[in-house]
Structure 1
Amino acid sequence: MRAEIEAIANDINQSLELLRRHLDWDNALRRLDELNARSENPDLWNDAAAAQKLMRERTHLEQSVSTVRSIERDRDDFLGLIELGEMEDDQTVVVDAEEGLRALRERAGKMELESLLSDEADSNDCYIEVHAGAGGTEAQDWAEILLRMYMRWAEQHGYKVVWLEENAGEEAGLKSATLQITGHNAYGWLKTESGVHRLVRISPFDSAARRHTSFSSVWVYPVIDDSIDIQINESDCRIDTFRASGAGGQHINKTDSAIRITHIPTGIVVSCQADRSQHRNRAMAWDMLRARMYEAELQKREAVAQAEADAKTEIGWGRQIRSYVLQPYQMVKDLRTGVETSDTQGVLDGDLDPFMAASLAARIQGGVGGQTETE
């Protein structure tokens, strides 16, 4: 057991070393001292935009430094408890401390991966669009299940979720919907979720209880702020006002204030019906369009995300990134990384971290490769 504990401690130490290196530790501490001093200057808020930028940098740096110190402290505490428990032959203390050390290794590994989210938009909030594929009610129900899955994931990670737009299915589910996820690194974590998601199950809408295959697409793009200049010619856009067509409830309003903007040269379409105010919905829709245009530019420069045209192709075989099989067996498998689990209900309840971590790691190491569907 001692060799295993040493191996776990070494893994934690390696993660800490990478975290320190990524932060440029000594310079990070000096910069934090500087930001703390500047934040106490009463004239700071004379320039609100500059002050907010400084406070965001300070908060992020403070959290990063605190995380490293917390992992170091917990590592030393757990190792000390293990040593004490072995000296006093108290196996309860030893076992509890070993479990804590293993959990700390997972935490350190996750923080190490998160520290690599260094693309220019990774720290931003994001939008998630879900679109049902062909297949009517079955596919529309799957789209709603996917949306719930992402909402659960976001809530579990302390992110704020705002429902912006929905287009309800005729009998059940959703034809499409858009959420905004707000929180640090929301886009960085979710960006690899873009693609087609495939479901195999016994359809609850089939009286013959036959197995059905359904597809829905997910599209993730970053919220951008005013510091990123995206020029859009309004004459290239068509703006439509319509009555919200969703299921209602707390998610949408029922007035004629919903806004749809179509950017004609690219075919990008965004909609917003989150507010009863047409003016606010219009402003949000323009923000969404700017974000989509910016994300398209990121794709061109980075050549790591899917091409814009992928979102316009048929949602079906050949483009899926993940397969969710509920019948005749239970399995969720990522077709890019090979990560799989039999805990299908856990995944649909938002347990997506293993899939996201593997996709991000593969992307950072040189890109996510595609796999051929074998189901």
Structure 2
Amino acid sequence: MAVPEDTSPQRLAQIRAQLDLLAEHVDADTLSGRIAELDEEMQAEGFWNDTDRAAKVSAERTRAARKLEAFRVLEADVDDLEGLAELSEEDEEMQAELGQQVASVQDRLDALEEERLFSGPYDNGDALVTVNAGAGGTDAQDWAEMVLRMLMRWAEGRGFKVELLEASAGEEAGIKSATFRASGENAYGLFNAEQGVHRLVRISPFDAQNRRQTAFAGVEVAPVIEDTGDVEIDSDDLQIDTYRASGAGGQHVNKTDSAVRITHRPSGIVVQCQNERSQSANKDTAMKMLRAKLLERQERERQELIAKEKGETLDVNFGSQIRSYVLHPYTMVKDHRTDREMGDAQRVLDGDLDGFVRAYLLKAAA
């Protein structure tokens, strides 16, 4: 039986206070002015001749208009709550409608508040997500594939376009590594919350004695950058190899000799792409992946330097364990950064990550 939504005056006051805080962030007047500026630019002669610039301006205009419309509708709905509350005092049907409206308003407030948490220069763009099997042998490779599925399902559930770029199959099961691109608003800002080591505890399906095993999978996240001037790469620093694509990925991965692997010698970063139809297309995509990973490394080093100057320690290393998924002797998923827990581990593995991500973003912003 569903728990009735809290419609008390105190709850309505909390909603009003939350809206007032968001109003400062949204700044409807400034946003409206920016939309007018973009409209003027889009109407200028020759605007559509520069397709790259036109695409960026058009995308910004769409995001700004959507945000402004969402806020104005939300503002009107919050205003209506007080009147609805008065009418519901003597009408049970109106009480139920008020409960539904409060729940709807809260969901939209939370969604807008989530956007407020993205302040990084690349947070609102696309993300390159790489999953690597860690310690644990076949169990780790199987676990890496489970993490890949979890993250891709979460991305698809949020409406992102998901494109698997490469996947290297494990010896017996699972994957050694895989990289996909999540395209959509705030993809990088959201996926940043999943960066780190994910730990699994379960009865191993690969152990004849049915012993409990611990396996690890690492998640790396990098922003997709279209402006290649952001990162300088010397061609002499690159080792470029071609090979036949094979293994995990099924119909989504090209099975020709066109797969490309690029090694950046100074950093040791290795990227590969095998889903495009030609070797040149795979090389172009791999170079974008390399730029993204170099940019992410630069940003991480910059944050570590700032933290050091402030006398703080910043745990942003790939080796930091962020979450544990326990399937035996009980089921529990726990995020070690926020202490958020969920008993339904299968629900999380099926892509229900919103609660964990939002809790982390709120703590990081605070």
Same fold (TM over 0.5): yes
Q: Identify the residue that residue 33 of structure 2 maps to in structure 1.
A: 30
The aligned residue for residue 369 of structure 1 is none
Secondary structure class of the residue paired with 2:89 = helix
1:172–1:227 CA distance, 2 compared to 1 (3 A) = closer
Shift of 1:77: 4.2
Q: Tell me if 1:291 matches 2:292.
A: yes
Equivalent position of 2:311 in the other structure: none
C-alpha spacing 1:47/1:103, structure 2 compared with 1 (3 Å): same
Report how far residue 184 of structure 1 moved. Answer: 0.7
Query: 2:6, 2:99 within 8 Å by CA — same for their partners in 1?
Result: no
**What is the CA-CA distance between 1:256 and the residue it aligns to?**
1.2
- Residues 106-165 of structure 1: CA distance to partner in whole angstroms, max 9, x if unpaired? 330231131220210101100110011122221111111100101110111100000000
Alignment-derived partner of residue 221 in structure 2: 220
Asked if the contact 2:5–2:99 (Cα under 8 Å) also holds between the matched residues in 1, the reply is: no
Q: Aligned partners of 1:206, 1:104: CA distance in 2, in Å?
A: 49
Describe how 1:287-366 pairs up with structure 2 within 5 A.
287-303=288-304, 310-311=317-318, 319-365=320-366
Indicate conservation of the 8 Å contact 2:198/2:218, yes or no.
yes
Instruction: Give the counterpart of 2:52 among 45, 49, 53.
Output: 49
Quick one: which amino acid aligns to residue 48 of structure 2?
W
Q: Aligned partners of 1:3, 1:342: CA distance in 2, in Å?
A: 24
Match of 1:273 in 2: 274
How far apart are residue 82 of structure 1 and its match?
3.8
For residues 145 and 195 of structure 1, the distance between their equivalents in structure 2, rounded to whole angstroms, comes to 15
Please list the CA deviations of residues 273-330 of structure 1 after superposition, one character each: whole Å capped at 9, or x if unmatched.
Answer: 11131110000000000111111111122337766xx44x6xxxxx311000111111
Q: Which residue is equivalent to 1:109?
A: 110
Q: C-alpha separation between the residues in 2 aligned to 1:34 and 1:306?
A: 41
Aligned residue type for 2:55 = Q
Equivalent position SS for 2:208:
coil
Partner letter of residue 333 of structure 2? V
Match of 2:171 in 1: 170
Give the CA deviation at 1:354.
1.1
Helix, strand or coil for the counterpart of 2:271?
strand
Which residue number corresponds to residue 19 of structure 2?
Answer: 16
Amino acid at match of 1:157: R
Quote the Cα distance in structure 1 between the aligned partners of 2:147 and 2:315: 20
Moved more, 285-294 or 92-101: 92-101
Query: What's the CA shift string for 1:234-289, capped at 9, x where partnerless?
Result: 11111111112323522212111111111111111111111131110000000000
Question: SS where residue 337 of structure 1 aligns?
Answer: coil
Which of 40, 44, 55 does residue 43 from structure 2 map onto? 40
Equivalent position amino acid for 2:223 in 1: P
In the alignment, the residues of structure 2 paired with residue 2 and residue 236 of structure 1 have an alpha-carbon distance, to the nearest angstrom, of 60
Residue number in structure 1 paired with 2:78? 75
1:240 aligns to 2:223 (yes or no): no
Pair 1:62 & 2:65 matched: yes
Spell out structure 1 runs of 4+ moving beyond 6 A: none
Instruction: Count matched residues.
Output: 355
TM-score (norm 1): 0.88
Q: Give unpaired runs (5+ residues) of structure 2.
A: 308-313
Q: Distance in 2 between matches of 1:306 and 1:182?
A: 27
Counterparts of 1:284 and 1:351 in 2: how far apart (Å)?
29
The equivalent residue for 2:89 is 86
The answer on whether the counterparts of 1:299 and 1:306 sit within 8 Å (CA) in structure 2 is no
**For the Cα contact (< 8 Å) 1:15–1:109, is it kept in 2?**
no
- Are the structure 2 counterparts of residues 210 and 68 from structure 1 closer, same or farther at C-alpha, using a change threshold of 3 Å? same
In 1: Cα distance, 2:186 partner to 2:273 partner: 23
**Amino acid corresponding to residue 84 of structure 1 in structure 2:** L
Structure 1, unmatched stretches of 5+, are: 314-318, 366-375
Q: Does the CA-based 8 Å contact 2:7-2:98 persist in structure 1?
A: no
SS at 1:250 equivalent: helix
TM-score (norm 2): 0.91
Percent identity, aligned pairs only? 48
Equivalent residue letter for 1:25: A
Could you tell me how far apart the structure 2 residues matched to 1:237 and 1:326 are?
43
SS at match of 1:71: helix
- Aligned CA RMSD, in angstroms, stands at 2.1
User: 1:200 maps to which residue?
Assistant: 201
Cα drift, residue 200 of structure 1: 0.8
